Amino acid sequence: MQVTVEQIRGSSILVLPLSEQSKISSPQAKKKSIVVGSCTGSNTMTDEGHAKVATLLSHHSELAIFRRFSKLNFQNLLYLQAELTHLEANLKKLVDRDAQNPNRQQYSRDWLFLAQNDDEHDDREQWDKFLQIRDKLKEYSMPSFS
């Protein structure tokens, strides 16, 4: 039986055959170690650290278990939501300001006119703010957890 222990950032990664995983009896060992199985082949276990574990998981993807970081993901979504709320309020101020200007009144009805940047339309602040919102919406709309 081939058993190895890898140290990665303070965590022990115990690599052993699947048939031996059920024989770990110490509760402390189970809490401090992650059992990820073993792999066969001459070059598969020559890497060290994260590369070694990645090689193992590439051969046995059914062993892969990753943290979701749910608390951090929810916190990130809340911050993104707050940022979007702030950007939305700024956009509203720009829309109201531009509605009072005869050269910019068409902005709310014609996106091409809004997005143009030439001598006739010297203020792209509203469009630039919307592009900033668009980028933030992409982040907000693609949560990285289920």
Q: Are residues 128 and 107 in the same domain?
A: yes
For residue 135, being part of any structural domain is answered with yes
Quick one: 52 and 85 in the same domain? no
Which tens digit of pLDDT belongs to each residue from 95-108?
999 999 998 889 99
Indicate whether 1 pLDDT > 50: no
| 85 and 37 together in one domain | no
In terms of domains, do 10 and 46 share one?
A: yes
Number of domains the chain contains: 2
pLDDT, mean of residues 1-30: 52
Does 105 map to a domain?
yes
User: Are both 28 and 83 inside the same structural domain?
Assistant: no
Report if residue 134 sits inside a domain: yes
Give the range of the structural domain holding residue 126, as residue numbers without chain letter: 70-140
Q: Residue 87: inside a domain, yes or no?
A: yes
The mean-pLDDT minimum among 56-60, 71-75, 127-131 falls in: 56-60
Q: Which residue has the higher pLDDT, 22 or 71?
A: 71
- Confidence bin at 144 (pLDDT 50/70/90): low
Same structural domain for residues 101 and 116?
Answer: yes
- pLDDT band (50, 70, 90) for residue 116: confident
Q: Are residues 80 and 23 in the same domain?
A: no
Question: SS3 string of the chain?
Answer: CCCEEEEECCEEEEECCHHHHCCCCCHHHHHHEEECCCCCCCCCCCCCHHHHHHHHHHHCHHHCCCCCCHHHHHHHHHHHHHHHHHHHHHHHHHHHHHHCCCCCHHHHCCHHHHHCCCCCCCCCHHHHHHHHHHHHHHHHCCCCCC
Q: In this structure, are 76 and 30 located in the same domain? A: no
Q: Is residue 36 part of a domain?
A: yes
- pLDDT confidence tier of residue 80, bands split at 50, 70 and 90: very high
Same domain, residue pair 92 and 37: no
Q: pLDDT tens-digit profile of 129-139?
A: 999 999 999 99
146 in any annotated domain = no
145 within domain boundaries: no
Residues 74 and 136 in one domain: yes
**Inside any domain, residue 104:** yes
